[in-house]
Amino acid sequence: MRARATNVAASILLLAVGSLIYALWRSHSLLMFRWFDAVGIGPLIDRSRGYVHFIHVADWIRYSLPDALWASSGVFLFSAIWTGSRSPVRHFWICIAPCLAIGGELAQAVHLIPGTFDLVDLATCALLSGASVALTCRPYHYVRPC
């Protein structure tokens, strides 16, 4: 049970960090800012962006890290769901988020989906997802029954 809670907490934390980067440093043109406006926290986000605008954030943190964090968060989330299971299906689910992220990036490279292929995106995503899978695939975390 402790492993499941740890994985859920890690997943939420990674998602929160990624979302924070998006909300504070990315362009207003993103759909999420319309959502922020719709739920009434748009001005609060604006104010927060004003507080942090002087903080220089490296491009790879601003543009590449959030997607990698999303993929890693998926790894932890699905690990939490499949904690204690010995079904081989668990491997599919645990790898689905990194596969979607990396696959999406590769699909951009061959113009299957719109977007700009970026090697830094790919490397960040692969590294962080790999690290997350390595962490969660330890037997203690999800093979051992709760």
Partner 1 sequence: MSDLARRNLISVAALALLALLAAGSVDSPSESNKSSSSSTTPGLSSATSSVSRESTPASSSRQLVHIGEVGVLRAGDSSGDVVVGADKATNDELTKMAVNHDQEGFAGMVLSGRAFLVPAGTRIRVLDTLFTFGFLPTGAHVRILEGRHYGRDGVVPFEWVQPATAGSTQSATPETRRAQPVRSATPARKAVRTRP
**116 touches partner 1 (CB under 8 A):** no
The tokens of 41 are what? 């926290």
Using rule CB under 8 A, residue 98 touches partner 1:
no
Query: Which residue has tokens 């977007």?
Result: 115
Q: Does 39 bind partner 1 (CB under 8 A)?
A: no
CB of 100 to partner 1, least distance (A): 8
Binding mask 68-87 for partner 1 (x = CB under 8 A): --x--xx--xx--xx--x-x
- Whose CA is closest to 120, among 70, 56, 63, 75? 63
The verdict on 32 binding partner 1 (CB under 8 A) reads yes
Provide, rounded to whole angstroms, the least separation between the CB of residue 47 and partner 1.
6
Residues 6+ apart with CB under 8 A from 113: 104, 107
Exposure of 86 by Cβ count < 10 A (0-12 exposed, 13-18 middle, 19+ buried)? exposed
Q: Is 49 in the site for partner 1 (CB under 8 A)?
A: yes
The angle subtended at Cα 93 by Cα 88 and Cα 97, nearest 5°, is 150
Residue number with CB closer to partner 1 (30 or 131): 30
* Distance of alpha carbon 123 from the chain centroid: 14
Helix axes 89-109, 119-136, angle to 10 degrees: 170
Residue of 28, 91, 138, 144 that binds partner 1 (CB under 8 A): 28
- Of the pair 114, 135, the CB lying nearest partner 1 is at 114
Binding interface with partner 1 (CB under 8 A): 15, 19, 22, 26, 28-35, 37-38, 40-44, 46-47, 49-50, 66-67, 70, 73-74, 77-78, 81-82, 85, 87, 89-90, 93, 96-97
